[in-house]
Amino acid sequence: MADTWVRMVTAQTPTNIAVIKYWGKRDETLILPVNDSISVTLDPNDLCTTTTVAVSPTFDQDRMWLNGKEISLSGGRFQSCLKEIRARACEVEDEEKAIKIAKKDWEKLHLHIASYNNFPTAAGLASSAAGFACLVFSLAKLMNAKEDNSELSAIARQGSGSACRSLFGGFVKWTMGKVDNGSDSLAIQVADEKHWDDLVIIIAVVSSRMKETSSTTGMRDTVETSLLLQHRAKEVVPKRIVEMEEAIKNRDFASFARLTCSDSNQFHAVCLDTQPPIFYMNDTSHKIINCVEKWNRSEETPQVAYTFDAGPNAVLIAHNRKAAAQLMQKLLYYFPPNSDTDINSYVAGDKTILKDAGIEEMKDVESLQPPPESKDTSRYKGDVSYFICTRPGRGPVLLVDESKALLDPKTGLPK
C-alpha cells in the first residue's frame, strides 16, 4: 500500500500579450533577451492553460500529455525546466495520505504532466507562454519549492521567453538582467489587474493559410542580420520601458496606446529588416491597423491600441467599455462572419461587449453602418475567423477542487 500513492497538483495560468516586445536573444540556451519587455496578462477565464502534475513511485518515466495527446519531453527546453525545478524541490509530507517524500527522493521519482489550453492552439495565440508558466508553477507547488513567482519566472523563461511574464497578473515587466547565468533575467509585476480594470481587450483571430516562421527561428535570424534590432534594443526600448511603466502607473491611455502601437510596428519593421525578411502581418492585419488609426485620429484622444505578435492576429486594447463597444461595431462592419456562422460563436469570451454594441443577432451585423471616419466601405466577410473579448486578468492559481484535475488520482494517467 505504502508505495502506490499518487500525489497531484493542478494549477491554472494565464497567457500574456506584450505591449513592449521581446524580440532577440543574447543567449539562446538560457533564453536571455536583448531588451526588457512589458506585457498585459489576459483574463484566464477566456485564455489559459490548466496543468496537472503528479508524482508516484509507480511511474517509471517522465511523461506529458498536451490537450489529451502524449508529447515528448526530450526537448532541451522541457529538460531545462525540469532540471531547474527538481533542484529546488523540498521535503513533502502528507500525513493523511501517509506520503513522505524526502528532498533527495525527487531525483529518482518520475512525473506525469497533463496540460490543456482553453483556446485553440491552432489559433496562434501564445500558448507556449501560459504552458511553460503553468508547468513550472504547478511543479513548484508539487515539490514544495520555496521560490517566489519572480524566481520561478526565471525558470519558466528557460522554457519560452514570454512564459516568464505569465507568472503574474496585471501588467508585468521582464527585466533582461545582466549576469551571465540569467538569474536576474526575470519578471516583476508593474501593477496588478485591479489597477486599471476598465481596459477591454478584443482579439481578432485572423484567418491565415501561411505557415508562420516560429518566434525562435525568426528572432535568431533577426539577431544575426538586422541593424535596426541593435538600434531598437540599445536606443529605443530602454526609453519606452520607462515611459510605458509611467503610462501604466498613471492610467494614461493616450501614452499607453501610442507606445503600444509604435512598439508593435517597430517589432514588425525589425522583422522586415531581417534577412530573409519575415512577414507576420497580412492584409487583414493591415486593414485592422488602418481602421484603428483612422478612428483614433478622428477622436480627440486615442480610443484603442493595437499590437501584433508573430502572426496576423490583432490584439486590440480599448480604453473602456464604451470604446470597446464602438470598436466591436466597426470590426463587425468590416469583418462580418460567414453566413453560416452564429454571431454568438463568432464573438467568444465576454459577450456583454456585444450586447453593449447593440448586436444580438445576424441582422444587427448586416445593418451596421460603415465607420464615418473612413472612406473604405467594403466588407471583408471571412477574413477574421472569430473574435475573443477579454480583459486584463490575474496570475497563476492553484485549483484545489480535485474534479478539475486532468489526471486520474489513482492511476496518474489522463482522465
Q: Which residues bind to ligand DP6, rule: CB under 6 A?
A: 18, 21-23, 31, 37, 126, 128, 160-162, 215-216, 309-310
Q: At CA 337, angle to CA 16 and CA 332, rounded to 5?
A: 70
Torsion of CA 119, 123, 126, 129, to 10 degrees: 50
Q: Least separation, in Å, of the C-beta of 362 and ligand DP6?
A: 34
Nearer to ligand DP6, 20 or 200 (CB): 20
Nearer to ligand DP6, 20 or 54 (CB): 20
CB 185 within 8 Å of CB 157: yes
Q: Least separation, in Å, of the C-beta of 354 and ligand DP6?
A: 27
| φ, ψ at 122 (rounded to 5°) | -65, -15
Q: Least separation, in Å, of the C-beta of 249 and ligand DP6?
A: 20
Nearest residue to ligand DP6, scored by beta-carbon proximity: 161
Nearer to ligand DP6, 161 or 396 (CB): 161
Buried b (16+ CB within 10 A) or exposed e, 17-29: bbbbbbbbbbeee
* Whole-number Å distance between alpha carbons of 289 and 272: 17
Q: Least separation, in Å, of the C-beta of 10 and ligand DP6?
A: 24
Nearer to ligand DP6, 51 or 215 (CB): 215
Residues near 381 by Cβ (< 8 Å), separated by ≥ 6?
Answer: 335, 336, 337, 338, 339
Nearer to ligand DP6, 224 or 342 (CB): 224
Maximum CA extent, the chain: 74
Q: Least separation, in Å, of the C-beta of 164 and ligand DP6?
A: 9
Q: Least separation, in Å, of the C-beta of 126 and ligand DP6?
A: 6
Nearer to ligand DP6, 89 or 229 (CB): 229
* Whole-number Å distance between alpha carbons of 126 and 132: 11
